[in-house]
Structures are given as C-alpha cells and as structure tokens.
C-alpha cells in the first residue's frame, strides 16, 4: 500500500470511481473564503499561523514535503472554458483542504486550450488543456495535512473524462 491506497488505485484508472464520501470532499471547509472566488490575490499576514506551520508530512514512518499527483484526463469536456476551469481548480483545491493564495490562467487561440496555475499555501495545482484532443494534464501538489486525492472527484465532475490516469510521487522524501 502506498499512501494508504491499494497500488491498483495508483495505476492507470479508467472510469475513476468516486468514493462514498466524495460529496463531502467538495463541501466548503474552514479554509473556504468566499472572496477567494472574487479576487485574484489573497494577502496573508506574515505573522499568521499559516506562515509558521511546518508543511512537511509524517506518514507511514516517512517524512516528505508532500504528495504530487500527475493526472491525465482523456475524453474530457469543458477544456476551452476558462471560467469553468478556474472554478474547477479552486474547488479541487478546497476539496483537498488547501488554502488558495492566487490563480492565473491563460486562454490560447486558435485551439482554445488553457494553461494555468492555482497557487496554494500548501503548493499548487496546474492545468494544460488540448480541447481539440479532449485531453488535459494536471499537477496537484499538496503538502501538510492536505489530501490531493480528494481533488479527483471534483475534476471528474467538472471535465467528465472517459478515462483518468493518476500517478503519485512523494516529493522531498527525507531518508
């Protein structure tokens, strides 16, 4: 078992199935701030608890910076809809328990692809889309107590892929 998940869940997964508690994964957490969806940037007071926390993870007898998921969506929809993409990425961040600091997305022409990032206090989520191919590549990197796996059901609902491929890396593994 890796990250408390069977190896099969970490391999290529076609038609990813949401867990029973996936509905609760997208409920606003105590870190949800409505202004995050209205503003491009949220300023954090440098004296806050957030700035002073150690975001390294202690799990399975290991110490590491965080869990980095590479997620490929095939047969996906809404890959040229910049506002829908930004909303999905922010909801995915909140579902994982992360704190959104900023977002920046760019819409390309003529194919309508989107590239962008949501910067998190606990790392980042990035996306690059190829709407003409129905493909999106995402990175979901979260440290601390965040769980990037809780982002997957949100991405599935937003983009309706026919297949999802997920790979995991534990970044900054301390040996």
Residue of 22, 74, 107, 128 marked catalytic: 128
- Is 123 in the active site? yes
Q: Which residues pair with 66 in a beta bridge?
A: 143, 171
**Residue 27: how many other CB atoms lie within 10 Å:** 9
Backbone φ and ψ of 152, nearest 5°: -60, -45
Residue of 123, 124, 146, 151 marked catalytic: 123
- Is 146 in the active site? no
Cα distance between residue 51 and residue 119, in whole Å: 15
Question: β-strands 163-171, 12-13: how paired?
Answer: antiparallel
Locate 141 and state its tokens: 């990197």
**Would you mind telling me the total number of residues written for the chain in this entry?**
175
Q: Which residues pair with 128 in a beta bridge?
A: 115, 137
Residue of 103, 143, 146, 151 marked catalytic: 143
- Is 143 in the active site? yes
Active-site positions read 123, 128, 143
């Amino acid at each position: 078992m890796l990250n408390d998940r069977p190896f099969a869940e970490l391999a290529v997964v076609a038609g990813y199935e949401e867990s029973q508690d996936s509905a609760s994964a997208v409920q606003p957490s105590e870190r949800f701030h409505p202004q995050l969806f209205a503003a491009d940037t949220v300023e954090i007071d440098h004296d806050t608890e957030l700035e002073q926390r150690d975001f390294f993870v202690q799990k399975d007898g290991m110490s590491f910076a965080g869990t980095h998921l590479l997620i490929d969506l095939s047969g996906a929809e809404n890959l040229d809809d910049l506002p829908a993409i930004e909303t999905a990425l922010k909801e995915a961040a909140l579902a994982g328990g992360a704190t959104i600091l900023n977002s920046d997305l760019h819409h390309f022409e003529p194919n309508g692809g989107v590239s962008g990032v949501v910067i998190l206090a606990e790392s980042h989520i990035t996306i690059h889309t190829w709407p003409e191919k129905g493909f999106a590549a995402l990175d979901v990197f979260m440290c601390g107590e965040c769980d990037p796996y809780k982002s997957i059901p949100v991405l599935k609902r937003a983009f309706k892929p026919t297949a999802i491929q997920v790979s995991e890396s534990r970044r900054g593994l301390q040996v």
